[in-house]
Amino acid sequence: MISFSQENDIIVKESKYRKFDVNEIRRDFPILERKVNGKPLVYFDNAATTQKPNVVIDSMTHYYRYENANIHRGLHFLSEVATEQYENSRLKVKEFINAMSASEIILTKGTTDGINLLANTMCRADLLNEGDEIIISHMEHHANIVPWQLLCDRKKTKLVVIPIDDNGELMMDEYKKLISPRTKLVSIVHTSNTLGTVNPIKEIIEIAHKNNIPVIVDGAQAVGHQKIDVQELDCDYFVFSGHKLFGPTGIGVLYGKAELLNKLPPYQGGGDMIRTVTFEKTTYEDIPNKFEAGTPNIVGGIGLGVAIKYLNMFNFQDISRHENELLQYATEKMILIDGLRIIGTAKNKASVISFTIDGIHPYDLGTIIDTDGVALRTGHHCTQPLMKRFNVPATARASFSFYNTIDEIDVFINALNKAIKMFR
């Protein structure tokens, strides 16, 4: 049982992992009890956003009820409490991804914000120029394509793309061939939001580093499903969002090696990021404050810290095992369905299943399945180049989290079969 003490601390022994009992875990997430269209909610849209446990929700209302104040300014009691909590979250993030120092943790609005911060500041620092090349992959989310295209438009830098095979795996030989003296950056997704492919990220980084090329990892779909250790990966930057980690929306993390972050200019100007301001010249704070202009999403930061604390109660091996069971079970059931094609069949795959069914538009499938309370995602999943690669306009996608169950997959499969009957 988790409860709050007066100091808003979760009373839990972090040294001991909680026993993995999915029914007990589900009780932590109040939304999983609700009904949709008169049926129990089956939430299979976890790659879009995860649900929030009571501890996160409670921490946020508790903050607004009893602790709300602006941070990093004011000597008064509440300001100090709020600052301590916000900065405590930064520490939690640091420990969670094993960064060397809390100053390497920039709190952002989310993954997209983190990548835009890097693209903008790298552009202003002239780290990428005419004729230089940035390597991305064919399975990137638009958030790891468009910010670089905006930069390329300004600097005449070139975006080059690692191809993928029919299973949705990166063609590593092609990656090696793409590296040249012109390559100045690799920005790559850890786990594909559409295919579920888990990329050999350590190997990708090693290859880049042999050529002195820095690497940005888009970890949006990786965090919350596997242990991330940025020092072990040796990535230069790692970005992710709080809301895919059972935390609130509008808060995310940009990790960067201190030596690299120190070389980048500020992103946005404003309060909290300056040391002195005169009309003639302004000097800036050190990292991380240099990149955090204005009043931040304080409650979001606090919620993220609590989400991490919640997740820390579990052993990632238990989470992976359970999610893998769900993936295997659902895949086995789905391939029996006539005309169903799974897009993304990589050997190392996260619990994401994109699929199409012959003769049925994903929109129609999603609409009918929703009447049974099953939440799927349909569309291009912000990966239009990937849709083109597999020659489909859109797919339906089921993505599982550690609170999902085998019983829910049975409900989903029944709903799928019912929908197919309606259209065939």
Partner 1 sequence: MTINEIQQGIIKEFENITEWEDKYALLIKFGRDLAPFPTEFRTDKNKIEGCQSQVWLNASFSNGKLLIDADSDSTIVKGLAALLIKVYSNQTPTEILSSPPEFLHKIGIDNHLSPTRKNGLGAMLKQIQLYAVAFNALNREQL
> Annotated active-site positions, please?
382
- The DSSP 8-state label assigned to residue 197 in this structure reads B
Separation between Cα atoms, residue 257 and residue 235, nearest integer Å: 8
Task: Work out whether 422 is an interface residue with partner 1 (CB under 8 A).
Answer: yes
Interface residue with partner 1 among 210, 393, 406, 407 (CB under 8 A) is: 393
Token pair in block for residue 370 = 């929703």
Separation between Cα atoms, residue 57 and residue 10, nearest integer Å: 13
Interface residue with partner 1 among 26, 27, 142, 380 (CB under 8 A) is: 380
Token pair in block for residue 275 = 């040391």
The distance of closest approach from Cβ of residue 414 to partner 1 in the complex, given in angstroms and rounded to an integer, is 13
Q: Which is nearer to partner 1, 305 or 366 (CB)?
A: 366
The distance of closest approach from Cβ of residue 29 to partner 1 in the complex, given in angstroms and rounded to an integer, is 23
Token pair in block for residue 46 = 């976890």
Q: Which is nearer to partner 1, 42 or 186 (CB)?
A: 42
Separation between Cα atoms, residue 253 and residue 109, nearest integer Å: 8
The distance of closest approach from Cβ of residue 368 to partner 1 in the complex, given in angstroms and rounded to an integer, is 6
User: Which residues ranging from 340 to 379 are in contact with partner 1 (CB under 8 A)?
Assistant: 360-364, 367-368, 371, 378-379
Burial of 122 (0-12, 13-18, 19+ CB in 10 A): buried
First to last CA, the chain: 48
- The DSSP 8-state label assigned to residue 305 in this structure reads H
Q: Which is nearer to partner 1, 312 or 378 (CB)?
A: 378
Q: Which is nearer to partner 1, 77 or 363 (CB)?
A: 363
Separation between Cα atoms, residue 382 and residue 47, nearest integer Å: 12
HEC readout, 181-200: CCEEEEEEECECCCCCEECC
**Cis? peptide before 248, omega within 30° of 0:** no
Q: Which is nearer to partner 1, 37 or 167 (CB)?
A: 37
Instruction: Compute how many residues bind partner 1; rule: CB under 8 A.
Output: 17
The distance of closest approach from Cβ of residue 149 to partner 1 in the complex, given in angstroms and rounded to an integer, is 19
User: Which residues ranging from 28 to 67 are in contact with partner 1 (CB under 8 A)?
Assistant: 37
Chain centroid offset of residue 271 CA: 28
The distance of closest approach from Cβ of residue 335 to partner 1 in the complex, given in angstroms and rounded to an integer, is 24
Interface residue with partner 1 among 64, 66, 77, 423 (CB under 8 A) is: 423
- State the residues that interact with partner 1 by CB under 8 A: 37, 360-364, 367-368, 371, 378-380, 393-394, 418, 422-423
